[in-house]
Amino acid sequence: MKYVKPCSLFYEVHKRAVEMVGKKAIGPQLLGFNVLEKYVIISISDPKLLCCIHYGLVERKRRDIHTLANLFQTLIPKYNLEGVVIGCPDAEDIDNHEVAKVESFVEDLCNTRKLEDLKYTYWDTRFAPAPVGKII
């Protein structure tokens, strides 16, 4: 996976979505996930990129990073995924250990080399529409 800035990712995916509408094909979608202490919450954008839909909750275990990467691989063709949006706590706070945990998780996911065609970005969870904890 390759990191890009949030606006760049959205612009690229939105541009492709507009192209696909002209061809009457399903547009590209985004995979989203939030990394919690024990779980990863997965969501997928709708084809119009207007909202995201809760996909599922996966137990997070360090040894299962390849299993999670395999799951994401199966979702790529099914939902025409072109990017990943990763929820991240306040990235401005240098001492925030949660940020380090999320970045470490993403690094481990990148090291599987199973999602190399996808671009990813971080999104500040303070802008999330609902508290993630309520989903669990």
Q: How confident is the model at residue 5 (pLDDT cuts 50, 70, 90)?
A: very high
Q: Are 81 and 31 in contact (CB under 8 A)?
A: yes
Tally of structural domains, the chain: 1
Domain that holds residue 49: 2-19+27-125
Task: State pLDDT tens for residues 49-66.
Answer: 888 899 999 888 766 899
The model carries a pTM of 0.83
Question: In this structure, is residue 133 part of a structural domain?
Answer: no
Question: In this structure, is residue 82 part of a structural domain?
Answer: yes
Task: State pLDDT tens for residues 74-103.
Answer: 999 999 999 999 998 765 665 678 888 889
Q: Specify the CATH number for the domain of residue 98.
A: 3.30.420.140
Question: In this structure, is residue 81 part of a structural domain?
Answer: yes
Of the candidates 35, 45, 41, 42, the residue with the CA atom closest to the CA atom of residue 13 = 45
Question: In this structure, is residue 76 part of a structural domain?
Answer: yes
8-13: Cβ within 8 A, 24+ apart: 8/121, 9/83, 9/85, 9/119, 9/120, 9/121, 10/49, 12/82, 12/83, 12/119, 13/49, 13/82, 13/83
